[in-house]
Copies of this chain bind each other. A is one copy, B any other.
Amino acid sequence: MDTLFSHATVVTMDESMHIYTDGFVGITGGRIAYVGKNPPPEGGKPRKIIDAAGMVLMPGLINCHTHLPMTILRGCADDYDLQTWLTQHIFPREDRLDDRCVKAAALLGIAECLQFGVTSVSEMYDHVGAIAEAAAESGIKANISRGTTMFIGDDFDFETFPACRELAAAREKWDGYDSGRLRIEAAIHAEYTSTHQLWDAVSEYCINEGVRLQVHLSETENEHSSCLEKYGLTPAEVLDCHHVFDVPAVAAHCVWLSESDMKLLAKRKVSAVHCPVSNLKLASGVADVPAMVRAGMNVALGTDGTASNNNLDLFEEIKYAALLAKEKHHDPTALAAPAALMMATVCGARAQGREAECGMIKTGMDADLILLDFTRPHLMPCHNVLSSLAYSARGGDVVMTMVRGRILYAEGKFPTIDLSAVVKDLAEYAMPRVFHPEEQEAKS
């Protein structure tokens, strides 16, 4: 046995929601080898023992929708209306990103994820090669997709379309990297930023190649109703007509789904990713999570990017999800703590196609684990650990993050990320390039 956690409150998130109040979890070869309320037989002979008294050990969280490199834009444009935000502040700056900027910004985002107990992310952006490099070096798990857009008048050929070429190249280099730690997926940015030629081509590619897909779906009322006007179909319906959901897919936001959309997506086994903080911040609305669950959909959680949040703290999303559901349904019993925690763990694993390997503490699964310090005032007393995790805890309470048995964050340090080098590169290269291009031009 490589590592043994002792005396932890173990929140397994397994099918019976077992909780061990003075429990032991043993790890061998990056996998969970033992879970129990007693020490393992013959002590397990671990090479390392982590005394977790006063701590909660739980599965690492899974952030199912983000745009990691947007850390570089964190707080640069808040409290604007959506059009001004996008067209004047976000797009012009994103256009100036290159691979080096993206890698540094992604590493900063990954550090934040690890510090806050996230062990796997689903990512949609461009420069996916740079993001994959960052994920590969850091040790985090990631399902990385290349967001594709296409407008009427674009000539379209999958083989030559830049975004699709980038997708194909990234798949070749990175898909399955490190025994599946990294996966490359396809993405259609959204219905309203693309046309049927793209949908047909991407869905055909995914079906032929066995590739999963990510898409933004019905995020705003305007998007949803404009689609109805244009096609007489909802975004979910029109994409489904073009076989987009014939492969495992993840739909972010799902704020304005109709009831029949939910039934359709449930039938197609599309996972929704609820991003409550981003939805509120951009005044997009509040997705109806209980209704989606009732319709049979798997609903996971995501932070979206840091330009509309502005952090990557999935514990924050857990609480927002639970509280907003109670308000939306005028029912304090709606989306209770256990369900909210499931969204961030088992449901996230299912959305990523990783349900066999993570999301629970169970023998045979990957040791993707986090420890939280429950000796802090706001986590005492602990009458109900699931309540405390959902309603009191925050990402900042995480003191250790481990992926496949490897510690990627502990005691304020990141063994796999040189954070000061990343910050320096952002400050000296990336931010001037993105925010002060006129000075860059003057220099050259």
A interface list, Cβ under 8 A from B? 71-76, 78-82, 85, 108-109, 111-112, 115-116, 277, 279-283, 285-286, 306, 309-313, 316, 323-324, 326-327, 329-334, 336-337, 376-378, 380-384, 387-388, 390-392, 394-397, 419, 423, 426-427, 431
B384 touches A327 (CB 8 A): no
- The residue that A380 contacts in the complex, of B85, B108, B283, with Cβ under 8 A, is B108
B381 touches A310 (CB 8 A): no
B332 touches A80 (CB 8 A): yes
How many angstroms from the CA of A306 to the CA of B393 in the assembled complex? 12
The 7 A-B pairs with the shortest beta carbon distances in the complex, nearest first, are A396-B396, A75-B387, A79-B336, A280-B323, A112-B377, A310-B391, A76-B383
A392 touches B75 (CB 8 A): yes
Q: Which residues of B contact A390 (CB under 8 A)?
A: 78
How many angstroms from the CA of A324 to the CA of B283 in the assembled complex? 9
A78-B387, A79-B333 known; A381 and B85 CB under 8 Å?
no
B336 touches A78 (CB 8 A): yes
- The residue that A337 contacts in the complex, of B79, B285, B391, B396, with Cβ under 8 A, is B79
Q: Which residues of B contact A426 (CB under 8 A)?
A: 380-381
Minimum CB distance partner of A385 in chain B:
B75
A283-B327, A377-B111 known; A384 and B78 CB under 8 Å?
yes
How many angstroms from the CA of A313 to the CA of B116 in the assembled complex? 17
A280 touches B326 (CB 8 A): yes
17 of the cross-chain contacts (CB-CB < 8 Å) are A71-B381, A75-B387, A75-B391, A75-B392, A80-B333, A82-B332, A108-B380, A280-B326, A283-B330, A309-B391, A309-B392, A311-B391, A312-B378, A377-B419, A378-B395, A380-B423, A394-B394
Minimum CB distance partner of A280 in chain B:
B323
- The residue that A381 contacts in the complex, of B74, B81, B329, with Cβ under 8 A, is B74
How many angstroms from the CA of A423 to the CA of B382 in the assembled complex? 11
Minimum CB distance partner of A397 in chain B:
B396
Minimum CB distance partner of A338 in chain B:
B79
- The residue that A327 contacts in the complex, of B286, B313, B326, with Cβ under 8 A, is B286
Q: Which residues of B contact A282 (CB under 8 A)?
A: 326, 332
B381 touches A72 (CB 8 A): yes
Q: In this complex, which of A71, A327, A329, A427 has the most chain B Cβ atoms within 10 angstroms of its Cβ?
A: A327
Q: Which residues of B contact A396 (CB under 8 A)?
A: 394, 396-397
B283 touches A383 (CB 8 A): no
Q: Which residues of B contact A112 (CB under 8 A)?
A: 377-378
A333-B80, A397-B396 known; A313 and B108 CB under 8 Å?
no
A378-B115, A426-B381 known; A311 and B81 CB under 8 Å?
no
Q: Which residues of B contact A329 (CB under 8 A)?
A: 283
A112-B377, A378-B115, A381-B431 known; A283 and B331 CB under 8 Å?
yes
Q: In this complex, which of A108, A312, A380, A395 has the most chain B Cβ atoms within 10 angstroms of its Cβ?
A: A380
**Nearest CB on B from A286, distance (A):** 7
How many angstroms from the CA of A411 to the CA of B315 in the assembled complex? 23
Q: Which residues of B contact A79 (CB under 8 A)?
A: 332-333, 336-337, 387
How many angstroms from the CA of A60 to the CA of B153 in the assembled complex? 56
Q: Which residues of B contact A332 (CB under 8 A)?
A: 79-82, 85, 281-283
Q: Which residues of B contact A427 (CB under 8 A)?
A: 381
B78 touches A337 (CB 8 A): yes
How many angstroms from the CA of A332 to the CA of B83 in the assembled complex? 11
Q: Which residues of B contact A326 (CB under 8 A)?
A: 280-283
